């Protein structure tokens, strides 16, 4: 049907290497397959950090019954037929290798109902061999279950990390894909406990805020077919940079270092969309790294995003320390509201609530923090305001006062420009 064996000359060119070395590697491959099958909902379950049991269930298009026995054969795939197809690749998979690799080192059950069929089928495998295929009543979609990873390779099994470490790896991984694909809902259950439950959303920013439990600013730039969106956390955190190229979480040392220098101790999530021929996912057997043509152009886009527009002043430290975007005071309204331009938004900050929050985070109780704080109507010197703004961006919680009132009202510059019909 759809799944075919790749011709010899294509196999020869596909980056070879160990695909499955840990439970997280299995989870990664299975999630990618579910996404390739256009799933809108993916549920992952693991026991003992995935060493004992992994299940990934989706509501995608399913596997055609005729294809079911083929999906675990080496180099069998429905995603490419010729090497040139890699130039227009829009799926995560292309090697036809993942299910084969997992089947070799586990006991596996694949249950699937193709969307045009009125029933599903369950295929049970041991060491890569089919034990049985039987009919099964189920909803459209696919579930892959992996039992006792490396049970037949005790040395490999012993090399696996502790359960907690494997579980943490899986959690990070599921979060990565959830960031890359906010329109898909993800659930992760480990040892019977729900670790993640992310409903689908159209907004990448909402998804990030849900995952990191902190607010993000968004910047966007598009040029020469490259589209870059960067989300930077408002509050200071342990610096963390995430890079996604065409929704694939990837590592790219030089870009990551560059971004880290730019944003300092913040979380930066970069979503880069490029035409498929610009990115080569076939340089690493696990596709963890990609080769980007035009890497220079991409850095240029970053530089431009962070150099900012005229309204936004990054401070450049001569000793090669990080550039850091600093909030810029635009004005003070009625000795009460600080108007601040920061990270592509205009913030209207209540000076009393901000002062209260700062006192509170310095260890004062909420009533004392409030009584001791600057009031609405107090005249503040520019130096005083500058000091407060500096503290604002370092706050654990820069969003609400100790009583829970919002400290500021935010208006994205983009909206202002849109409202007056000016394109920047
Ligand atoms: N969840 C799924 N839903 C529908 N079809 C699936 C699913 N998982 C696998 N398949 C089918 O099985 C085939 C083999 O999957 P496998 O992951 O082994 O290879 P691949 O995704 O084609 O390439 P790669 O090895 O790069 O992941 C896929 O090409 C696809 O046709
Ligand atoms: Mg795959």
Residues within 6 Å of ligand 1 by CB: 2-3, 29, 32-34, 36-37, 58, 60-63, 71, 77-79, 93-100, 142
Q: Which of these, 338, 327, 349, 322, lies nearest to 379 by C-alpha position?
A: 338
Interacting residues of 415 by C-beta distance below 8 A, sequence separation 6+: none
Whose alpha carbon is nearest atom 21 of ligand 1?
93
Ligand nearest to the CA of 3: 1
- Output the pLDDT for position 322: 36
User: How far is ligand 2, taken at its centre, from the CA of residue 71, in Å?
Assistant: 10
The number of the ligand nearest the C-alpha atom of 98 reads 1
Identify the structural domains of the chain with CATH numbers, from first to last: 4-198 (3.30.565.10), 215-315 (3.30.230.10), 326-419 (3.30.1540.20)
Per-residue pLDDT of the chain (424 residues; tens, 9 = 90+): 899 999 888 888 888 778 899 999 999 999 999 999 999 999 999 999 999 999 999 999 999 999 999 999 999 999 999 988 888 899 999 999 999 999 999 999 999 999 999 999 999 999 899 999 999 999 999 999 999 999 999 999 998 999 999 999 999 999 999 999 999 999 999 999 999 999 999 999 999 999 998 889 899 999 888 999 999 998 777 789 999 999 999 988 888 888 888 888 889 999 999 988 888 888 888 888 888 887 888 888 888 887 753 333 333 332 333 334 678 899 999 999 999 998 778 999 999 999 999 999 888 888 888 888 999 999 999 899 999 998 998 887 888 888 888 899 988 888 898 889 887 7
* Ligand index nearest the alpha carbon of residue 95: 1
Instruction: Specify the ligand 1 atom closest to the Cα of 287.
Output: 26
CB 312 within 8 A of CB 344: yes
Residue 32 CA to ligand 2 centre (angstroms): 6
**Which atom number of ligand 1 is nearest to the Cα of residue 96?**
19
Q: How many angstroms separate the alpha carbon of residue 141 from the centre of ligand 1? A: 13
Question: Quick one: what percent of the chain has pLDDT higher than 90?
Answer: 62
Q: Report how far ligand 1's centroid is from the alpha carbon of 36 (Å).
A: 8
Residue 402, phi-psi category: left (phi > 0), alpha (psi -120 to 50), beta (remainder): alpha
Tokens 């549920």 sit at which residue?
43
Give the predicted TM-score (pTM) of the model. Answer: 0.77
Q: Where are the beta strands (DSSP E) in 356-423?
A: 408-412
CA of 171 to the centre of ligand 1 (A): 22
CA distance linking residue 282 with residue 286, whole number of Å = 9
Residue 114, strand partner residues:
none
3-state SS track over 244-274: EECCEEEECHHHHHHHHHHHCCCEEEEEEEC
As a whole number of angstroms, the distance between CA 174 and CA 406 comes to 32
Q: Which ligand is nearest to the CA of 80?
A: 1
Atom of ligand 1 nearest to the CA of 34: 1
> Which DSSP string corresponds to 34-57?
HHHTT-SEEEEEEEGGGTSEEEEE
Ligand 2 center to 269 CA (angstroms) = 25
Give the pLDDT score at 21.
Answer: 93
User: Do the beta carbons of residue 78 and residue 5 sit within 8 Å?
Assistant: no
**Mutate-to-test residue for ligand 1 from 42, 54, 96, highest number of ligand atoms within 8 A of CB:** 96
Cα–Cα nearest to 33, from 85, 77, 66: 77
HSE of 248, CA atoms in CB hemisphere, 13 A: 27
Pocket test for ligand 1, best of 59, 65, 71 (most atoms within 8 A of CB): 71
**Rounded Cα gap, residues 221 and 313, in angstroms:** 18
- The protein residue with its alpha carbon nearest to ligand 1, atom 31, reads 78
Residue 226's CB is within 10 A of a number of other CB atoms, namely 18
Give pLDDT, residue 141: 98
The SS3 of residue 322 is coil
CA of 351 to the centre of ligand 1 (A): 56
Which atom of ligand 1 lies closest to the CA of 91?
A: 21
How far is the centre of ligand 2, averaged over its atoms, from the C-alpha of 30 (Å)? 7
Ligand 1 atom index nearest CA of 102: 18
CA of 72: how far to CAs of 1, 13, 25, 378, in Å?
A: 15, 20, 16, 72
Ligand 1 atom nearest the C-alpha of 100 is 18
User: Of the candidates 416, 420, 413, which has an alpha carbon nearest to the alpha carbon of residue 310?
Assistant: 413
Residue identified by tokens 């601040």 is 340
Q: Which residues of 34-45 are buried (b: 16+ CB within 10 A; e: fewer)?
A: bbbbebebbbbb
Calculate how far, in angstroms, residue 346's C-alpha sits from the geometric centre of ligand 2. 44
Q: Is 397 exposed, middle or buried (0-12, 13-18, 19+ CB in 10 A)?
A: middle
Rounded-to-integer distance, Cα 118 and Cα 123, Å: 17
Atom in ligand 1 nearest the alpha carbon of residue 60: 3
Cα–Cα distance for residue pair 397/66, rounded to 1 Å: 55
Q: Is-contact 19 98, C-beta < 8 A?
A: yes
For residue 70, what is the DSSP state?
A: G
pLDDT of residue 321: 32
| Calpha distance 217→346 (Å, rounded) | 11
Write phi, then psi, for 292 (nearest 5 degrees): -110, 125
């Amino acid at each position: 049907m759809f799944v075919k064996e790749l011709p010899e000359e294509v196999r020869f060119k596909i980056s070879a290497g160990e695909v499955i070395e840990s439970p997280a590697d299995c989870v990664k491959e299975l999630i990618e397959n579910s996404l390739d099958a256009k799933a809108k909902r993916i549920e992952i379950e693991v026991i003992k950090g995935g060493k004992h049991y992994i299940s990934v269930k989706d509501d995608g298009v399913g596997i055609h019954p005729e294809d079911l026995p083929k999906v675990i054969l080496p180099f069998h795939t429905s995603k490419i037929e010729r090497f040139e197809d890699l130039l227009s690749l829009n799926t995560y998979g292309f090697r036809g290798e993942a299910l084969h690799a997992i089947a070799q080192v586990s006991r596996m059950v694949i249950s699937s109902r193709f969307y045009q069929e009125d029933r599903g089928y369950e295929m049970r495998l041991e060491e890569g061999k089919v034990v049985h295929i039987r009919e099964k009543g189920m909803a459209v979609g696919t579930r892959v279950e992996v039992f006792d990873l490396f049970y037949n390779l005790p040395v490999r099994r012993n090399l696996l990390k502790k359960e907690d470490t494997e579980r943490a790896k899986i959690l990070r991984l599921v979060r990565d894909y959830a960031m890359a694909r906010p329109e898909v809902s993800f659930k992760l259950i480990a040892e019977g406990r729900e670790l993640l439950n992310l409903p689908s959303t159209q907004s990448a920013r909402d998804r990030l805020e849900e995952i990191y439990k902190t607010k993000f600013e968004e910047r966007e730039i598009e040029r020469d077919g490259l589209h870059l969106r960067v989300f930077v956390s408002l509050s200071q955190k342990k610096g963390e940079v995430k890079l996604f190229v065409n929704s694939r979480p990837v590592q790219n040392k030089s870009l990551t270092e560059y971004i880290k220098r730019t944003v300092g101790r913040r979380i930066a999530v970069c979503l880069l969309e490029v035409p498929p021929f610009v990115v080569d996912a076939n340089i690493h057997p696990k596709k963890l790294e990609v080769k980007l043509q035009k890497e220079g152009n991409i850095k240029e886009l970053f530089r431009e995003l962070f150099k900012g527009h005229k309204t936004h002043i990054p401070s450049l430290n001569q000793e090669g320390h990080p550039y850091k975007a600093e909030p810029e005071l635009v004005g003070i309204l009625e000795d009460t509201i600080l108007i601040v331009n920061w990270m592509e938004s205009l913030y209207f900050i209540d000076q009393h609530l901000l002062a209260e929050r700062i006192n509170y985070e310095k260890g004062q109780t909420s009533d004392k923090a409030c009584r001791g704080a600057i009031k609405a109507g107090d005249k503040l010197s520019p130096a005083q305001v500058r000091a407060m703004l500096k503290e604002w961006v370092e706050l654990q919680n820069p969003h609400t006062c100790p009583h829970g009132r919002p400290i500021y009202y935010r208006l994205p510059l983009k909206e202002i420009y849109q409202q007056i019909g000016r394109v920047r």
